[in-house]
Copies of this chain bind each other. A is one copy, B any other.
Amino acid sequence: VFRVCVPEVAISEAIEHAARVDVVLWPDGQPAPVSIEDVQLLVPPRRLAAMTTDELALMPRLEVIQLLTAGSDPWLGLAPQTVTLCSGQGIHGSSTAELAVAAVLHQIRDLARYERQQADRRWQPGERHSIAGSNVAVLGAGDIGGRVADVLTILGARVVVVSRTAREGILSPDEFRPLIAEQNVVVVATPLTAQTRGMVGKEFLAALPDQAVVVNVARGPIVDTNALLAELHSGRLSAALHVTDPEPLAGHPLWTAPNLLLTPHVGGGSMGWQQRAGALVQRQIGHLLRAEPLENVVG
């Protein structure tokens, strides 16, 4: 019997339970289940940032940690060499890309202004910026960044995609640096690494043109919160954050910053994600049982 541990009933239900597979549940905020010591594939609880090595030592038979998130930064280097770490890339990609597009359009078309007019019962058309004709930089060439770039191109934006290593159609950070001053929109969709931490900092933000929009759907620490706050308060830039640094926010100046749309890490949290997660776990089990390479291996 192959033992799998997942954090939600809906994911468990999305896995077809073959005779050779046993699925146990470890819900968010609960202690580990009794049968944890037999677990071979672990899908950790969602709200668990990472595990301690002591906790991991409770699972001597563990072969795979399958994350539900596209990012895997807190887990890297944590598990013993015998354990393969796999990201949840693809589970939330389309949903996060769609929230990024929603946020870009919300900010560049200034929908909040129409919501205020609606509250005041004022019919007041006026000309606003549009994504058509805008320059957009997408930082990150993965599933999310690729979808955002495709969509905004169809809507008439001139899009550049930036990634660690330049390749056909993709700029390196060094190639991109001189172009920052031309970008009306920046979408952050790159993993958090030592290189990307603080990448969108004071200098980067200061180089953006007036009225530029910064959207972060990746990880909070890629954007320098204090530098962004200063630009928001000056009215020069606007932003949409699905992720923040710190996160979650409690009594933080971001709550009251002007020109900001805050969506509390809900990029991937759209209905149907459990089915996509279950399907991925199911495929990974198949790979293990057939001794095939796993998908989404990150460590």
Contact = CB atoms under 8 A, between A and B. Distances in A.
Interface stretch (A58-66, A117-125, A220-228): A117-125
Interface string A45-79: 00000000000000000000000000000000000
**Chain B CB within 10 Å — which of A102, A117, A123, A256 has the most?**
A102
A98 B102 contact: no
B131 A98 contact: yes
A243 to B, nearest CB: 11
Contact of A269 (B102, B126, B250, B270): B126
In the complex, which range does the number of interface residues on chain A fall in? 35 or more
B271 A123 contact: no
A99 to B, nearest CB: 6
Contacts of A232: none
A264 B123 contact: yes
Contacts of A260: 118
A102 B112 contact: no
A298 interface: no
Contacts of A123: 248-250, 264
Interface in A224-245: none
A71 B14 CA distance: 48
B128 A266 contact: yes
Nearest to A99: B109
A130 interface: yes
Given A109-B102, A125-B269, A127-B270, A155 B97 contact: yes
B271 A130 contact: yes
A294 interface: no
Given A128-B271, A130-B272, A155 B266 contact: no
Interface stretch (A146-154, A160-168, A197-205, A284-292): A146-154
A94 interface: yes
Contacts of A154: 147, 150-151, 154
Interface of A: 94-95, 97-99, 101-102, 105-106, 109, 111-112, 114-115, 117-118, 121, 123-133, 147, 150-151, 154-156, 248-251, 255-256, 260-266, 269-273
22 contacts: A97-B155, A98-B131, A98-B156, A101-B101, A102-B102, A102-B109, A106-B111, A109-B270, A114-B263, A117-B262, A118-B260, A123-B264, A125-B265, A125-B266, A125-B269, A126-B269, A127-B270, A127-B271, A129-B270, A147-B154, A151-B154, A151-B155
Given A106-B111, A123-B249, 13 more contacts: A94-B130, A98-B109, A98-B132, A101-B101, A101-B105, A117-B262, A117-B264, A118-B261, A124-B264, A127-B270, A128-B266, A132-B270, A154-B154
